[in-house]
Amino acid sequence: MTQIALITGASRGLGFALATALCPTHHIVAVARTSGALEDLDDAIQAKGGSATLAPMDITEAGAMATLCRGIYDRWGKLDLWLHPAVHAAPLAPTALMDEKDWGKSVDINAHATQRLITYVAPLLGADGRAVFFDDPRAGEKFFGAYGATKATQIALARSWQAETTNTGPHVSILTPAPMRTATRGRFFPGEDREALAAPADEADRLLATLG
């Protein structure tokens, strides 16, 4: 039976790398807002002999996510794996000068959308599926107010779900990637030596190996 992997935030960085790493063994349901980037991902997956369903959607749209999950159920009846690298990385700013629009977008994507997706995806994973979240512990660091607080909220939701499903499933994993050569990292640390950072493809392989 075909293994199905849903990747929310699949169009670039770690999400793109996870999709291409998994495509030899899983059909990839790739969610991102940018159609062009998803098409590039599809080309990369096909080049490796894999297959994908592209879902150019905004994860903050409840109706779109409900439709997506219903479509997954109607076509395959289940999910085997959900990987959630999607995140909004608000510009760094002093907490007292934080832009309210950036704060609101951070809350919508990193917290509200994650809570909603857990609700929608859990029945598709059942007892045997696995959900994977990716930590980036910036809470409390200077200038990381919006990103740090809302990313910490996302991971707190995941940890609660993990504790609640220990005996029943699905399996919930929380992984911490090494610093990578991604656009998000570049915006946070523009003067950093990028050659010293991990390649997203290498990090995707390492993280997936820890899942067994």
Question: Is a pLDDT exceeding 80 seen at residue 31?
Answer: yes
d(CA 82, CA 6): 5
Lookup result for tokens 């059909």: 27
Q: What is the pLDDT of residue 84?
A: 98
| Contact (Cβ atoms closer than 8 angstroms) between residue 11 and residue 35 | no
CATH number at residue 108: 3.40.50.720
Query: How many distinct structural domains can be found in the chain?
Result: 1
Instruction: Report the pLDDT averaged over residues 21-49.
Output: 97
Q: What is the mean pLDDT of residues 188-212?
A: 95
The predicted pLDDT at position 92 comes to 96
For residue 127, give its domain range.
Answer: 4-210
Can you say whether residue 29 is alpha, beta or left, with left for phi > 0 and alpha for psi between -120 and 50 degrees?
Answer: beta
d(CA 66, CA 14): 24
The answer, yes or no, to whether residue 1 has pLDDT greater than 80, is: no
212 has a pLDDT exceeding 90: no
Between CA 77 and CA 91 the distance in angstroms is 40
Which two structure tokens, joined as six digits, stand for 36? 């062009």
Average pLDDT over residues 30-34: 96
Q: Angle 6-200-154 (CA atoms, 0-180°, nearest 5)?
A: 55
Q: Furthest-apart CA pair in the chain: how many Å? A: 53
Higher pLDDT, 212 or 108: 108
